[in-house]
Structure 1
Amino acid sequence: MTDVRTIEVEAVTKRFGAVAAVNSLSFQVAPGRVTGFLGPNGAGKTTTLRMLLGLVRPTEGRATFGGVAYADLDSPLRTVGAALEAASFHPGRSARNHLAILATASRIPRARIDATLDLVGLSEFADRRVGGYSLGMRQRLGLASALLGDPGVLVLDEPINGLDPEGIKWIRSLLRALAGEGRTVLVSSHLLSEVQQSVDDVIIIARGELVHEGTLSSLSAGDSLSVLVDAPDRAALAAALSAAGFTVTAARAGLVVVGVEAEEVGRAAFAAGVPLSTLHRQSSGLEETFLHLVGGDR
């Protein structure tokens, strides 16, 4: 049996009638790192997390913590902290009261309540009714619920949703700190831009299937290098570049040459005696690579 801090999803499939929300999905999430679980809305992220947390039964396969199903963990709240996007709280209860109920049910020391409220920045509002909380404050309370048992694994569904810029900066720092303590941190999002400053690894799914797994930097390997170039005599430029063996396509702002550096394009134009008005390197970037993987560029 592996470390219970290691999330293991093994050939998981979930069908709702004839629709496969998740299809033969496999991946691992290691401790000590922040992993982004990414994909467009409807890709199957929340369904996968619900299967991992025992809220939905897989049609096939299994999702465990080091080989142990969530329902079989000795102390679930002390092992896994989870905050799902759809988490709801009784509007008449305070944040302190909500955490007190969780602490009592899981035999967690009451001292953890104040410590956790302070950690997520809710101490000042701890005795205010949750019904008056903003979306960002509810997100913080969901995170407090996940952290209450001081777990080794955190599973967070869209945790940045509803936070202001200061809150986003805060949660990024917190996630990095938690992973630095050796915890496993799995964060779902439908936007790479939301999490790319805080994650080490990415797992990307689309239409319920895995399309990429690796480090964040591994996405850069799929960048498509191109050069945008233009000249007062665009036809002469196109002829010179084609004669040099480059693949050239027309764009509104000029000509696009794929798979070469700008210096090579400039030399070819100079050799042909064609003066240039535009010459710069283009790269697809992480977000564009992500959109290409999930089909968002279509």
Structure 2
Amino acid sequence: MTTVQTIEIHGLSKRFGAVAAVSDLSFTVEPGRVTGFLGPNGAGKTTTLRMLLGLVKPTSGTATFGGTSYRQLRAPLSTVGTALEAASFHPGRSAHNHLAVYAAAAGIGRARVDTVLGQVGLADYAGRRVGGYSLGMRQRLGLAFALLGDPGVLVLDEPINGLDPEGIRWIRTLLRELAAEGRTVLVSSHLLSEVQQTVDRLIIIAGGRLVYEGGLDELDHSTQVVVDSPNRPALAAALLAAGAEPRETDAGLAVVGIDAARVGAVALSAGVPLSLLMVQHGGLENSFLELVGEGGRP
């Protein structure tokens, strides 16, 4: 594995005419963990990744690997492994020949081709023409190409798309193993449910702008206490007096702003018996949709 680099995005913007695809975007991706890059379709994820990889010129700002742009890397294939499009293969070539061409151009030994094909589960299909591959197999071949130079950084666009349940479990395990080796791993997706069991940290954008950067635990902020009593009006009055704002639901009173212990103490102090007291989490997916609902473009 080559030297690991931190991905650094600073003030990155891209306009296509009157359309702002990415606006003043800044974040970092650290080694040793899997970072999810999320946003709805049209949020600016692919444009950001293309700027990072030197395929699109930014209107302003920088996107670098440890302070060096992709175009200035001395050995790009051995520094950054990329998989942006699962279908960008010559259909008449075998998987082995496809990788061998790139290995020869980068000065990488042919033995590495067999190694990465085995690593992604394609060893038995290495001689088959890529035109006959399923979408899931092309995803695996794309990952094999990303790993070809044994890079310290991996940038993967929608790598789970097209994989069956077994393939999804496999890639989750592989990505975590690669991060555990100290690599920098950035994985994009438009669905939180696809990556929430894989990633350690999230970067979420909507409408080309950063809307969240942090861990999974901090994202699930939609927590409330649900409480009820045979004397619901008295309970509601006690909670209001304590500064809470109870909202009546079918299950009881939904309370935000104070925790369950405080709710119980308020009821006890007011002499109100409780028939229900529980903490209810809104869920990561709801929090994600709240963040991107206003900023995403269809």
Task: Give the structure-2-normalised TM-score.
Answer: 0.89
Q: Distance in 1 between matches of 2:71 and 2:247?
A: 56
- Is this contact kept in 1: 2:86–2:139, CA < 8 A? no
The equivalent residue for 1:228 is 226
Structure 1: state its 5+ residue gaps.
Answer: none
Q: Which residue of 2 aligns with 1:287?
A: 285
Number of the residue aligned with 1:278:
276
Partner amino acid for 2:188?
Answer: S
> What one-letter code is carried by the residue in structure 2 that aligns with 1:228?
V
Contact kept in structure 1, 2:36 and 2:187, CA below 8 Å: yes
The unaligned stretches of length 5 or more in structure 2 are none
How far residue 90 of structure 1 moved from its aligned partner, in angstroms, is 1.9
Question: What residue in structure 1 maps to residue 63 of structure 2?
Answer: 63
Aligned partner of residue 255 in structure 2, secondary structure: strand
Closer, same or farther in 2 for the Cα pair 1:114/1:256, shift >3 Å? same
Shift of residue 236, structure 1, vs aligned partner: 4.4
Aligned to 2:177: 177
The equivalences for 1:128-167 within 5 A come to: 128-167=128-167
Structure 2 residue matching 1:282: 3-state secondary structure: strand
Paired with 1:216 and 1:242, the residues of 2 have a C-alpha distance of: 32
Is the Cα contact below 8 Å between 1:225 and 1:259 reproduced in 2? no
Shift of 1:140: 0.4
Q: Name which of structure 1's ranges 20-29 and 236-245 shifts more when overlaid on structure 2.
A: 236-245
In 2, the alpha carbon distance for the partners of 1:131 and 1:87 equals 9
Which amino acid counterpart does residue 65 of structure 1 have in structure 2?
A: F
Counterpart residue number, 1:253: 251
**Structure 2 vs 1, CA of residues 74 and 198 (structure 1 numbering), >3 Å: closer, same or farther?**
same
Q: How far apart are 1:62 and its partner, in Å?
A: 1.7
Q: Which AA in structure 2 matches 1:283?
A: H
Contact residue 7 and residue 63 of structure 2 kept, 8 A: yes
> For residues 244 and 108 of structure 1, what CA distance do their matches in structure 2 show?
69
1:238 match: 236
Over residues 202-248 of structure 1, what are the superposed CA-to-partner deviations in whole Å (9 max), with x where a residue is unaligned?
2221111112223444435xx14311223455444433433444211
| One-letter identity of the residue aligned with 1:113 | V
Identity, % of aligned positions: 70
Deviation digits for residues 131-163 of structure 1 (CA, Å, limit 9, x no counterpart): 222211111011001111111111001111111
- 1:27 match: secondary structure: strand
Per the alignment, do residues 245 and 80 of structure 1 end up closer, same or farther by CA in structure 2, a change over 3 Å counting? closer
* Residues 1:116 and 2:116 aligned together: yes
Distance 2:10 2:95 in 1: 36
User: 2:4 touches 2:31 (CA, 8 Å); kept in 1?
Assistant: no
| CA distance in 2 between partners of 1:11 and 1:67 (Å) | 14
Worse-superposed segment, 59-68 or 153-162: 59-68
Q: Any residues of structure 2 matched to 1:97-112 within 5 Å, and which?
A: 97-112=97-112
Shift of 1:270: 5.2
Q: CA deviation at 1:279?
A: 2.7
CA distance in 2, matches of 1:152, 1:55: 20
The 5-angstrom pairing of residues 169-208 of structure 1 reads 169-208=169-208
Structure 2 residue aligned with 1:42: 42
2:225 and 2:277 in contact (8 A); partners too: yes
* Structure 1 Cα separation of the partners of residues 55 and 65 of structure 2: 15
Deviation at residue 29 of structure 1 after TM alignment: 1.5
SS in 1 for 2:141: helix
Offset at residue 83 of structure 1 (A): 0.3
Q: Are 1:89 and 2:89 matched, yes or no?
A: yes
Query: Could you say what secondary structure the match of 2:284 adopts?
Result: helix
Q: TM-score, normalised by structure 1?
A: 0.89
CA RMSD in angstroms comes to 2.4
In structure 2, C-alpha distance between the alignment counterparts of 1:134 and 1:241, rounded to whole Å: 58
After superposition, the Cα gap between the structure-2 partners of 1:213 and 1:100, relative to the gap in structure 1 and judged at 3 Å, is same
**Counterpart for residue 25 of structure 2:** 25
The separation in 1 between residues aligned to 2:18 and 2:171, in whole angstroms, is 39
- Return 209-218 or 154-163, whichever deviates more: 209-218
Aligned partner of 1:126 in structure 2 is: 126
Q: Which moved more, 1:183-192 or 1:283-292?
A: 283-292
User: Whole-Å Cα distance in 2 between the matches of residues 42 and 259 of structure 1?
Assistant: 35
